[in-house]
Amino acid sequence: MIKLSHVNKRYPNGHEALKDVSFDLASGEMAFLAGHSGAGKSTLFKLITRIEKPTSGQIIVDSQNLSRLKPSKVPALRREIGVIFQDHKLLFDRSVFDNVALPLIVIGMPHDEIKKRVRAALGKVGLAGKEKQLPITLSGGEQQRVGIARAVINRPNILLADEPTGNLDESLSNEIIDIFSDFNRVGVTVLIATHDLRQVERLGKRTLQLHDGELVHDGELVDTPKNDSSNEEASL
């Protein structure tokens, strides 16, 4: 579903975010992407959603070669991928309903259908009845869940989550990761970037570990790597 071959990404300022990264995530697989801040997790997501282009190497998403993807095909690619952002990326002047409905509005779905789907999605993330509220009136965890509802509303084949449990307590983190597991169980390919190793250990899924832009581990984590949070600010 997501296949990277020898992908390098160097930003114009010279920073090498990814160095020769290769992996293959099969359809319906669920994996974690671990690594310190600045290890290249966000860059990887930006490459998969075609926000950035790799400096070299090949990325294939849903059997489309992203280096050959025409700009006009980018929206279609992004509709296949539900993304949960670390900073939520919600529209703060729009209601929860409008935020969650956005991916359906852009594909021109009839309003009645949108209503049904938004209700269902909000119910799934435990925000039923909060449609009319503005995101600013919600807690951080609730805002995160609005983002999740928006990411899954269009039933994407791929879910990417960037630090979805960022500053949530343990029980809330478990809840959110379990939501992703649920989607994975119905066939959605899920990739979760996190440095929350409790979750990685708890689910025991395949883990791709990045360190300074290099893929240093691919598979189930056996050993908890040391010094993971000590060099948080290291490379950014």
Partner 1 sequence: MSAYFSRHLQVLFSTLGSMRRTPMATINTLLVIAITLLLPSLLYVTLKSAQSLSSNWQGRPQISIFLQKNSSDSTAQLIFEEIQLHPSIELAEFITPDQALAEYRLLSDNNASLQQELAFLGENPLPASIVVMPDRASAKPEKLLALKEELSTFDGIESVRLDLDWTERFNAMLQVFSRVSVLLSALLGLGLVLIVGNTIKLLIFNRRDEIEITKLVGGTDTFVRRPFLYYGALFGFLGACISLGFLLLAANLVEEPVSKLAELYKVNALVHQVSPLEIIAVLLIGTLLGWLAARWSVAMHLREIQPR
CA atoms within 13 A on the CB side of 15: 12
Q: How far is the CB of 99 from partner 1 (least distance, A)?
A: 9
> Following CA atoms 178, 183, 184, 186 in sequence, which dihedral angle do they give, to the nearest 10 degrees?
130
CA angle 218/223/228 to nearest 5° reads 85
Binding mask 101-120 for partner 1 (x = CB under 8 A): -xx--xxx-xx---------
Query: Which tokens hold the place of 164?
Result: 């979805």
**Residue 193: strand, helix, or coil:** strand
Choice between 81 and 190, CB closer to partner 1:
81
Choice between 11 and 185, CB closer to partner 1:
11
In the range 62-101, which residues lie near partner 1 by CB under 8 A? 72, 75-79, 83, 89-91
The dihedrals phi and psi of 61, each to the nearest 5 degrees, come to -120, 125
The dihedrals phi and psi of 86, each to the nearest 5 degrees, come to -60, -40
Q: Which amino acid is at 124?
A: K
Q: How far is the CB of 38 from partner 1 (least distance, A)?
A: 16
Q: How far is the CB of 215 from partner 1 (least distance, A)?
A: 24
Q: How far is the CB of 135 from partner 1 (least distance, A)?
A: 12
15 sits near partner 1 (criterion: CB under 8 A): no
128 sits near partner 1 (criterion: CB under 8 A): no
β-strand pairing of 2-10 with 16-25: antiparallel
Strand partners, 105: none
Nearest-angstrom CA–CA distance, 120 and 150: 11
Among the listed residues 5, 11, 26, 51, the single contact to partner 1 using CB under 8 A: 51
Choice between 15 and 202, CB closer to partner 1:
15
Among the listed residues 49, 189, 194, 199, the single contact to partner 1 using CB under 8 A: 49
Q: How far is the CB of 108 from partner 1 (least distance, A)?
A: 5
CB distance 215 to 17 below 8 Å: no
Binding site for partner 1 (CB under 8 A): 49, 51, 72, 75-79, 83, 89-91, 102-103, 106-108, 110-111, 150, 154
